Amino acid sequence: MVVPSGAVPLPRGSTVKALHRHGKQLVVESARNGCLLVHLGMSGSLRLVHGSDPRSDDRHVHAEWRFDLPDGSELRLLHRDPRRFGWLEAHEHLHSVRRAWADRLGPDALTLEGPWLHGVLQRTRRAVKTVLLDQAVIAGIGNIYADEALFRAGVHPLRPARQVKLRECVALARAIRQVLQGAVEKGGSTIRDHRTADGAWGSFQRMHKVYGKAGLPCTRCRTSLRGVRLQQRATVFCATCQPRRPRGLPGAVDGS
């Protein structure tokens, strides 16, 4: 957790003006211009707890803010981070947050369009999944959702990015948007300890087609799903539905 010395991200007595998000980073903006930038890391969370909630679990809480509600009760915002991969940053103004985002992060994954993605993938020899996970290229895709989107688009995760055709990029961009939107609506995927801000379990894991399912039959073709490691991350795919060297792509419009 990094908070620059002397900085006060949410000054005492201030009110929350707005919440912002880009990729996996969140910002709480106070009415006095102070901004708290939160990166949740691998298993970090922000949780809202009523002051009187007996179920409140304060283990792994690294930072806490207290808010007075109009009805006189108290709300606590807890930053929990069991694996300590997350961090906090204080910014004086939202525009300095936006500058940091522009320097560090690619466009938000929910805004992806196929032709833009194709242009980006054309410029690298890296595996397509590696590029999808690179937050400096595209912000917001995690390991689970990369695997799920690649399966839905029929793209092998280890294919050299520059070989992925425009038509496939259109399908991949659409799959990324749909998978992420679906995950947001279902409160995320609770594999181990993920919870939503109000403490509920996510349920998108029930929609997973490949993640965590190596060795099980593909839902489309019944071939056993394969599991490999890519940059220390579990990667699951169907070698039939996501061929490593696709033969002929009817309708490909880029002619390559």
Nearer to Zn ion, 192 or 245 (CB): 245
Nearer to Zn ion, 97 or 128 (CB): 128
Q: Which of residues 52-111 bind Zn ion (CB under 5 A)?
A: none
Determine whether 44 is exposed, middle or buried from the number of CB atoms within 10 Å of its CB (0-12, 13-18, 19+): buried
Given a contact cutoff of 8 angstroms between Cβ atoms, the answer to whether 129 and 150 are in contact is yes
Closest separation in Å from C-beta 128 to Zn ion? 18
Closest separation in Å from C-beta 80 to Zn ion? 38
Nearer to Zn ion, 99 or 220 (CB): 220
**Residues in contact with Zn ion, shown as a per-residue x/- string from 232 to 251 under the rule CB under 5 A:** ------x-xx----------
Closest separation in Å from C-beta 151 to Zn ion? 8
Closest separation in Å from C-beta 209 to Zn ion? 9
**Residues in contact with Zn ion, shown as a per-residue x/- string from 208 to 227 under the rule CB under 5 A:** ----------x-xx-x----
Closest separation in Å from C-beta 225 to Zn ion? 8
Closest separation in Å from C-beta 87 to Zn ion? 39
**Residues in contact with Zn ion, shown as a per-residue x/- string from 172 to 211 under the rule CB under 5 A:** ----------------------------------------
Nearer to Zn ion, 91 or 156 (CB): 156
| Segment interacting with Zn ion (CB under 5 A) among 4-12, 166-174, 193-201, 231-239 | 231-239
Given a contact cutoff of 8 angstroms between Cβ atoms, the answer to whether 216 and 233 are in contact is no
Q: What is the 3-state secondary structure (H, E, C) of the chain?
A: CCCCCCCCCCCCCCCEEEEEEECCEEEEEECCCCEEEEECCCCCEEEEEECCCCCCCCCCEEEEEEEECCCCCEEEEEEECCCCCCEEEEECCHHHHHHHHHHHCCCEHHHCCHHHHHHHHCCCCCEHHHHHHCCCCCECCCHHHHHHHHHHHCCCCCCEHHHCCHHHHHHHHHHHHHHHHHHHHCCCCCCCCCECCCCCECCHHHHCCCCCCCCCECCCCCCECEEEEECCEEEEECCCCCCCCCCCCCCCCCCC
Nearest residue (beta carbon) to Zn ion? 218
Closest separation in Å from C-beta 219 to Zn ion? 8
Residues engaged in binding Zn ion (CB under 5 A): 218, 220-221, 223, 238, 240-241
